[in-house]
Amino acid sequence: MDKENKYEEEAELLKTLGHPIRLKIIEILINNQSCVRNIWVNLGLPQATVSQHLVSLKNKGIVSCKRDGVMMCYKLNDKIIEKIFNTVKGYKRKTVHNNSRDEEAEPQTPVSSKLPL
């Protein structure tokens, strides 16, 4: 596999993970497997919407499913997805924290006071 194809595949994985509903699904599945009904009830979304997102996650190999009676139950396939999820959450907290410190360190001058009279 050449280097460009590798980056294409990695970008596709990140695109799949880069949807708010999919991130919420992953957060639910981090702790344990869950049936579709539990996921859509937890998210307060229509079953069809959740199922579409689960199909995307399954097609990328992020989740797998098994039948439990009439229900389909999903689980994360790899702990690395949990690590990616937690890294993104940690980065967000760090960025928010750093930005709030920057705002405290540099008082902002109103734009109108910078204009010549």
Q: Tell me: the pLDDT tens digits for 82-100?
A: 999 999 888 877 766 677 6
Number of domains present in the structure of the chain: 1
Q: Tell me: the pLDDT tens digits for 19-70?
A: 999 999 999 999 899 999 999 999 999 999 999 999 999 999 999 999 989 9
Cα separation, 85 vs 97, whole angstroms: 18
Q: Is residue 107 part of a domain?
A: no
Q: Is residue 81 part of a domain?
A: yes
Q: Is residue 100 part of a domain?
A: no
46: domain CATH number is 1.10.10.10
Tokens of 5: 């194809």
Host domain of residue 20 = 7-85
Give me the residues paired with residue 67 across strands: 72
- In this prediction the pTM is 0.75
CA-closest candidate to residue 13, choices 54, 55, 62: 62
Q: Is residue 64 part of a domain?
A: yes
Question: How far, in Å, are 10, 57, 90 from residue 104 at the CA level?
Answer: 37, 41, 21
Tokens of 74: 């999903």
CA-closest candidate to residue 18, choices 83, 79, 86, 88: 88
Q: Is residue 99 part of a domain?
A: no
Q: Is residue 1 part of a domain?
A: no
Q: Is residue 46 part of a domain?
A: yes
Q: Is residue 110 part of a domain?
A: no
